[in-house]
Amino acid sequence: MQMASTARTVEEIFKDYSARRTAIVRALTNDVDDFYGLCDPDKENLCLYGHPNESWEVTLPAEEVPPELPEPALGINFARDGMNRKDWLSLVAVHSDSWLISVAFYLGARLNRNERKRLFSMINDLPTVFEVVTERKPVKDKPSMDSGSKSRGSTKRSSDGEAKSNPKLADENYEDDEDEHTETQCGSCGGNYSADEFWIGCDVCERWFHGKCVKITPARAESIKQYKCPSCSMKRARQ
């Protein structure tokens, strides 16, 4: 049975997601023999759960309808002996990734548009369970924006921007695709995105700026809950 979660903010929901993901990764890698043994095809419909305390469990689904949280894929045990073990584990991993996303966005139902984008961006910085299980190799990191960078609401963010909130997973970060960085230009000077410079995003107009162009340092960005660029700040002042 799933453990209830009180996560409500972006950071709390990401922490919940990370813990559940860690549990499932462990079940499909370090504890794979135990997991495999628990998925007896002769048993009833079983599900793989990852819990917020980083424990995993193979058990029957919730009885109440609708359940308190979205449920994982049902009956993963039935296909166990009908497939190659590696393929079966990969399939369970794909369904587990889908479940982790569904739980995160279920918990984030009350988030606004920018917060949802930021949550997905944080999630997307981690390799998927499928990538871990199939041993897809991480690409060596390029120089990136300062880890204190404000990176709300965009995937054009430092791949280590959130790693410090979850150091255990920092070494698993994958490099963002090059294509993601080609279209962003500084709203002040018009310069193109560069991963080795500090950038900050405006939470109002969603434009991005060099930190130096708007006189914001990485240290100061850490203390700003909602950043408004000079233009948006002036508009607000006139109202």
The CATH number that applies at residue 223 is 3.30.40.10
The reply to whether 165 falls in a domain is no
Residue-wise DSSP of 29-63: TTTHHHHHHH--TTSS--EEEE-TTS-EEEEPPPS
> Last residue of some domain: 92, 108, 134?
134
Exposure class string for 72-95: b at 16+ Cβ within 10 A, else e: bbeebbbebeeeeeeebbbbbbeb
Give the per-residue pLDDT at 191. Answer: 82
Mean pLDDT of 124-139: 85
Query: What is the spatial distance between Cα 222 and Cα 141, in angstroms, rounded to a whole number?
Result: 23
CA 90, CA 95: separation in Å to the nearest integer? 9
* Residue with token string 């009833």: 44
CA torsion, ordered 52, 54, 59, 62, to nearest 10 deg: 0
What residues make up the domain containing 117? Answer: 10-134
Q: Are residues 120 and 193 in the same domain?
A: no
On whether both 112 and 199 belong to a single domain, the answer is no
pLDDT of residue 161: 40
pLDDT at 40 over 90: yes
In a domain, 218, yes or no: yes
Q: What is the pTM of this model?
A: 0.57
Chain segment 21-37, per-residue pLDDT in tens: 999 999 999 999 999 99
- Asked whether residue 77 is domain-assigned, the answer is yes
Alpha helix positions (H), 65-112: 85-107
What 3-state DSSP class applies to 99?
A: helix
- Last residue within a domain, chosen from 110, 134, 158: 134
Residue 173 lies in a domain: no
Query: Contact at 8 Å (CB) between 169 and 126?
Result: yes
Distance CA 106, CA 126 (A): 19
Could you tell me if 206 and 152 are in contact, meaning their C-beta atoms sit under 8 angstroms apart? no
Residues 16, 129: one domain? yes
- Residue 100, exposed/middle/buried by CB under 10 A (0-12, 13-18, 19+)? buried
Q: Is the pLDDT of residue 142 over 90?
A: no
* Residue owning tokens 């963002």: 176
pLDDT higher than 90, residue 5: no
pLDDT of residue 10: 93
Contact 208, 156 (CB under 8 A): yes
Q: Is the domain of 110 the same as that of 201?
A: no
Task: Classify residue 112: in a domain, yes or no.
Answer: yes
Number of H helices, E strands in the chain: 7, 4
- How far apart, in whole angstroms, are the C-alpha atoms of residue 229 and residue 12? 27
